[in-house]
Each structure stands twice: as C-alpha cells, then as structure tokens.
Amino acid sequence: MSASSLLTARQLEVSIGQTRVVRGLDLQLEPGQSLGVLGRNGSGKTTLLRSLAGLHRPDRGELLLDGHPLQTLDRRHIARRLGMLLQHTNYAFEASCEAIALIGRHPHLGPLATESAEDHALARQALADVGLAELAERSCMDLSGGESRRLALATLLVQDPAIMLLDEPTNHLDPANQVAVLDVVIRRQRQSGRAAILALHDVNLATCYCSHVLMLHGDGEWRCGPTAELLNEAELSRLYGCRVRRVDDGQQQVFAVAGAR
C-alpha cells in the first residue's frame, strides 16, 4: 500500500443477492485520481460504491480509509473524509435548497453547534457552483429531476470530503449540465489530497473525465487500469455484450454502439 492512498481494497469480495460483484478486488485510490466504474445494469456498481462507503458489508477482504480499517472508524470521522452522492435523489420534507445544502456541514459541526455565517456562505457558493444560486430559497420539493440532482451534488460539495463517491452523477441531466456538473466534480477532485469514484453509464464521459476505470463484469470478474489503456473496442464490447466501435475524427475519439455482436 502506498503511504498516500486514500482508500485501499485488498482481496475484496462483495456480493448481493445472487450477484457476485467483485472477487479478489485490489484497489488503491490515490490523491488526484478519478476512477470510473463501468458495467451493465445490475452488475453491482451501486453495491460496490456502498461497500466502499462502509454501507454494505463485504464477504471477505479488507477496506482501509487513510490506512485504517474502515469498520474501526466512527461515522462522523468517515463523513469528513468520504461522502457519497446516491443514485436517486428523493426529498421527503419541505426545506429550502440552502437548508438542504447546509446538511453537508453537519459532520464538521460539534454536537450542539449551529451553522455559522461561514457555513451559509459555503452552502450559497456550492449552490452557485452547480447553477442553482437563484433557487436558494426555493423548497427542495419544488425542483425538477435535474435540479434535485444538482442540489444533492451541492450538499456533497459542502460536505467537502477527500473522497467523493458518485453514483451516476449525470442522471436526469441534459448534455450541457452533464458536462457542467462533471467539470465541478473534477475541479474539486483535483484540489490537493482528493479523489473521486464515479459510477457511469456513459463511456464517453468516462473517457473525458476519468484517469482510471474499473470494469465490473457482473460475475465477480473485474478489470482496472488507466482509462487510455483499458477503454477499447474489444474490452467495451465484452463488457456490455454489444458491438462497440471507436470513432475518431482527428480531434476526439468516441465510442459508439454499433448494434448486436
């Protein structure tokens, strides 16, 4: 294990129901890395992210956060180091968008402390970063799907963990907002000592934004490595079970679905 690793998995085995998610996963997440998790529907991307967050117990193996076994750390400490954007955003009660974003400060506040003016400023900044500055006073119940998604991301930005786990962060977003949101995530991840893991269905976004990728084959098999080495027609066609072609116009290469194998 390198001394700087933020998150380390050693010989990790994760399963859920009938699905073997990973067998013998060895992973080191280093500062500056953005790791894209790719795989078919049901291959276990969400379950793996939940395991890395300490929310789903692995069958075997070790998980270390900053070199310490994850299960020995208390949740408040974990929440200051690691935060997760869930796949679905549902708000169950009325609160302003600013109040929801402020929830991200909770792991950083003492038990009886209330949010300071500085905390409110952080929440307003995060809302601005995701393009929701105008909606700070709006109820979270009155947002569109894409706005709800961006509010959840703002809350994570306010939490400001060293490791961001993002489960399909571009769900519900139009193409311009997909790029805007990933720009915000990657800008934050590139700040010193930070890293991100993103479950994605869009291979081309992974090509643009991820330094590394982890492919889950849905039967415990996995492949992990630098994006430029691992993302190719053969690997992607096998991963998704359909023919994927690489198209290069001289400026950019994109992967396109070419139909059945």
Ligand X SMILES: Nc1ncnc2c1ncn2[C@@H]1O[C@H](COP(=O)(O)OP(=O)(O)OP(=O)(O)O)[C@@H](O)[C@H]1O
Residue 196 CA to residue 188 CA, distance in Å, equals 9
CB-based contacts of 203, cutoff 8 Å, min separation 6:
38, 231, 236, 244, 255
Strands 253-257 and 244-248, how do they pair?
A: antiparallel
Task: Using the structure block, give the residue that is written with the tokens 């905390």.
Answer: 119
Binder of ligand X out of 42, 107, 131, 220 (CB under 6 A): 42
According to the binding rule CB under 6 A, does residue 47 interact with ligand X? Answer: yes
The least CB distance from residue 171 to ligand X, in Å, is 9
171 binds ligand X (CB under 6 A): no
Q: Report if residue 96 touches ligand X, rule: CB under 6 A.
A: no
The verdict on 170 binding ligand X (CB under 6 A) reads no
Task: Write the CA distances from 233 to 20, 206, 225, 240, 254, integer angstroms.
Answer: 25, 14, 15, 11, 10
If the CB atoms of residues 49 and 102 are measured against ligand X, the closer one turns out to be 49
Distance between CA atoms of residues 231 and 253, nearest Å? 11
**Of residues 13, 19, 96, 238, which one binds ligand X by CB under 6 A?**
19
Contact yes or no for 199/215 (Cβ under 8 A): no
Told to check if 31 binds ligand X by CB under 6 A, we report no
> Cβ(36)–Cβ(206) under 8 Å?
yes
Residue 224 is a binding residue for ligand X (CB under 6 A):
no
Whole-angstrom distance, CA of residue 178 vs CA of residue 170: 5
Q: Is 43 in the site for ligand X (CB under 6 A)?
A: yes
Residues 6+ apart with CB under 8 A from 124: 98, 101, 133, 136
Nearest CB to ligand X, comparing residues 16 and 109: 16
Q: Which of 36, 39, 58, 169 binds ligand X (CB under 6 A)?
A: 39
Taking the least distance from each CB to ligand X, the nearer of 29 and 215 is: 215
Choose which of 44, 83, 104, 146 interacts with ligand X (CB under 6 A). Answer: 44
Q: Which of 20, 45, 188, 212 is close enough to bind ligand X by CB under 6 A?
A: 45
Q: Is 51 in the site for ligand X (CB under 6 A)?
A: no
- Which segment (34-42, 67-75, 115-123, 156-164) binds ligand X by CB under 6 A? 34-42
Distance CA 166, CA 199 (A): 6
How near is the Cβ of 219 to ligand X at its closest, in Å?
12
Using rule CB under 6 A, residue 104 touches ligand X: no
Nearer residue to ligand X within complex by CB, 58 or 104: 58
> How many whole angstroms from its chain centre is CA 63?
17
Q: Does 161 bind ligand X (CB under 6 A)?
A: no
Q: Is 101 helix (H, G, I), strand (E, B) or coil?
A: helix
Give the residue with the Cβ less far from ligand X, 240 or 255: 240
Q: Which residues bind ligand X (CB under 6 A)?
A: 16-17, 19, 39, 41-47
